[in-house]
Amino acid sequence: MLSYILTLLPSILEGLVMTLKVFFVTLVLSIPLGVIVSIFRLSRFKPLSKITELYIWVMRGSPLMLQIVFIFFGLPIVGIAFDRFTAVIIAFVLNYAAYFGEIFRGGIESIDRGQYEAAKVLGLSPYRTFMRIILPQVIKIVLPSISNEVITLVKDTSLVYIVGLGELLRAGKIASIRDVSLVPLVLVTVAYLLLTAIFTVAFNKIEKRYSYYE
């Protein structure tokens, strides 16, 4: 049994590397983009706010799998082609930025108007006000929702198999079918659980760090 598991490990680890690559690149790009999306969505310039609303609706209202398919298989028809990994990252980042955008919007809207007014009468610029006064308070508020999204992202990475990228779940599935065994899938499940456990602990730490004020 143990020796069987050992034979599986190389391909599963390879899949894990792809999963982590998609995960981290998506996270690093989509969170800042989400902040921008929320600002656009809250913009007093109506066309910008409306277009952002439409974007959020499309991204949240259709399956991520279809978005990947359209970007990788659909865009080449109109002459825009990406390699597999880039296409996947574009789809994931656009999709997750919409979710993060809505989370940040909720956070920004929950900040008391008095905070903006205090910053304004002190003469702080709108940019400084957002970066120094509003955003730090928003981050504390949205952390639990962000951590929820992050855990969903870990599992959503399995969708990249659709363009033929070998990630964790695909590695398990191939071995499972080849060997007519559930063991590879159990192994893959354990890997996902370990990943989510690590990120949960990490987020708890971050939340604790933000609990220095009430």
Partner 1 sequence: MVLKVDWLNKSFGKKRILKDISFELNTGEILTIIGPSGAGKTTLLRCINGLEKSDRGTIFIDNAYLCRDYNDKNIYARSREMKEIRQKIGMVFQNYNLFPHMTVMENIIEAPIHVLGLSRDEAVNRAYELLESLGLEDKTDSYPFQLSGGQKQRVAIARALCLNPKILCLDEPTSALDPELRGGIASIIENLASKGMAILIITHDMDFAKRVATRVIFMEDGRIIKEGEKEEFFNSFKDDRIRKFMVL
User: Applying CB under 8 A, which residues contact partner 1?
Assistant: 112, 114-115, 117-118, 120-125, 128, 132-133, 136-137, 140, 212-214
Alpha helices, DSSP H, located in 42-167: 46-61, 64-69, 84-109, 113-121, 126-128, 135-156
Angle between helices 2-41 and 84-109 (to 10 degrees): 50
Give me 58's structure tokens.
Answer: 């499309």
Alpha helices, DSSP H, located in 122-182: 126-128, 135-156, 168-179
User: For partner 1, which is the closer residue by CB, 138 or 169?
Assistant: 138
User: For partner 1, which is the closer residue by CB, 113 or 178?
Assistant: 113
User: For partner 1, which is the closer residue by CB, 61 or 123?
Assistant: 123
User: For partner 1, which is the closer residue by CB, 45 or 212?
Assistant: 212
Distances (CA, A) of 19 to 1, 13, 209: 26, 10, 28
User: For partner 1, which is the closer residue by CB, 70 or 116?
Assistant: 116
Write out the E strands in the chain: none
User: For partner 1, which is the closer residue by CB, 9 or 118?
Assistant: 118
Q: What's the rounded Cα separation, in Å, for the pair 188 and 1? A: 16
Task: Report the SS3 class of residue 81.
Answer: coil
CB of 115 to partner 1, least distance (A): 6
What is the CA 95 to chain-centroid distance, rounded? 8
CA neighbours within 13 Å on the CB side: how many for 210? 15
